[in-house]
Amino acid sequence: MKQEEYKVLGMMSGTSLDGLDMAYCRFWLEDGKWKYAIEQAETIPYSETKKKELQDAIELDSIDLFKLHHRYGEWLGKTAKGFVDKHGLTVDFISSHGHTIHHRPEEGYTFQAGDGAELAKHSGQTVICDFRTEDVKQGGQGAPLVPIGDRLLLSEYDYCLNLGGISNISFGQDGKRLAYDIGIANMLLNPLAAMLGHEFDRDGALARQGSLNKGLYQALNSLQYYSLPYPKSTGFEWFSQTVWPLVETFDDSPENLLHTSVHHVTEQISRAVRSTIS
């Protein structure tokens, strides 16, 4: 008989590198529809050492990346156990995304650090992980991650928009759930805020102090990725090799660069939504 209620600890580390998000959620089937409740949640901020370790992992050779994969999985497991014990939780399984190091679906691979076996060993829980690989092997993008969750849990909304390091969108069209990465978001905004001594631009206060750099705005909006048809996805490689080098060619204040980047992010989101309206 199919189980009609699950108690799950979800663990996620996004490309904005602000920390490990943990959410203890209950899912249940009611009148043929899945419902949910977030019962406990916490973000564990990364230390500067761990943040740098994950950010620089894209440059590691295979052996050192393998070691990081296991080391990070052990840390995830110990952190999960601490969270479960602190709140006295009963968990059916842990759902762990890990942290994306490589994402190149056009070349047939994606990799998220955080070994599931290490996580299971150190948490003492059943673990489900490695969500993206099979989709990429079947010819998919492996991203965005949760359009099926959007459809099952948030069907009352016309669009589901996620603004992490990358912005992505999912929506229903002709009886199908479509989803893709729109483009850059906090992966660009956070390092600009760091130029002013902040981890992120809280409430857009820094960006409000700037003005639009029209040249940068036009250059960002003209990036080739935005003209590609969906399904499509992107990641840190695109940011580090294309977006950030472009921004660095403009000699302007961090406030102006932030202001312009926010306008760029919102313009691309607007275009994505408008493109679905006939």
Residue 44 confidence (pLDDT): 96
Residue 278 confidence (pLDDT): 66
Phi, psi of 122, rounded to the nearest 5 degrees: -90, -15
Residue 156 confidence (pLDDT): 94
- Which token pair is 97? 């995304």
Q: Pick the closest to residue 103 from 239, 269, 249 (CA basis).
A: 239
Q: Do domains 5-142 and 177-274 have the same CATH topology?
A: yes
- State the CATH class of domain 177-274: alpha beta
Phi, psi of 151, rounded to the nearest 5 degrees: -70, -40
Between residues 3 and 222, the one the model is more confident about? 222
CATH architecture of 5-142: 2-Layer Sandwich (3.30)
Amino acid present at 148:
I
- Please state the three-class secondary structure of the chain as a single string: CCCCEEEEEEEEECCCCCEEEEEEEEEEEECCEEEEEEEEEEEEECCHHHHHHHHHHHHCCHHHHHHHHHHHHHHHHHHHHHHHHHHCCCCCEEEEEEEEEEEEHHHCEEEEECCHHHHHHHHCCCEEECCCHHHHHCCCCCCCCCHHHHHHHCCCCCEEEEECCEEEEEEEECCEEEEEEEEECHHHHHHHHHCCCCCCCHHHHHHHCCCCCHHHHHHHHCCHHHHCCCCCCCCHHHHHHHHHHHHHCCCCCHHHHHHHHHHHHHHHHHHHHHCCCC
Q: How confident is the model at residue 277 (pLDDT cuts 50, 70, 90)?
A: confident
Under 8 Å between Cβ of 199 and 190: yes
Q: How confident is the model at residue 16 (pLDDT cuts 50, 70, 90)?
A: confident
Residue 268 has pLDDT above 80, yes or no: yes
Per-residue pLDDT tens for 205-242? Answer: 999 999 999 999 999 999 999 999 999 999 999 999 99
Ordered by start, the domain boundaries in the chain are 5-142, 177-274
Between residues 252 and 277, the one the model is more confident about? 252
Supply the mean pLDDT for the chain.
Answer: 95
Residue 276 has pLDDT above 60, yes or no: yes
* Cis, bond preceding 231 (omega within 30 deg of 0): yes
Under 8 Å between Cβ of 120 and 129: no
Average pLDDT over residues 62-70: 97
Residue 3 confidence (pLDDT): 81
What value does the CA radius of gyration of the chain take, rounded to a whole number of Å? 20
Per-residue pLDDT tens for 121-164? Answer: 999 999 999 999 998 999 999 988 889 999 999 999 999 999 99
Residue 1 has pLDDT above 70, yes or no: no
Between residues 59 and 18, the one the model is more confident about? 59
Residue 169 has pLDDT above 70, yes or no: yes
Under 8 Å between Cβ of 14 and 75: no
Residue 15 confidence (pLDDT): 82
Q: Using CA atoms in the order 197, 199, 201, 202, what is the torsion angle rounded to 10 degrees? A: -110
Residue 118 has pLDDT above 90, yes or no: yes
Average pLDDT over residues 180-187: 96
Judged on CB neighbours under 10 Å (0-12, 13-18, 19+), 219 is middle
Q: What b/e sequence results for 44-54 when a residue is b if at least 16 CB atoms lie within 10 Å of its CB, and e otherwise?
A: bebeeebeebb
Residue 18 confidence (pLDDT): 86
Question: How far is Cα 208 from Cα 258, in angstroms, rounded to an integer?
Answer: 9
Question: How far is Cα 99 from Cα 221, in angstroms, rounded to an integer?
Answer: 28
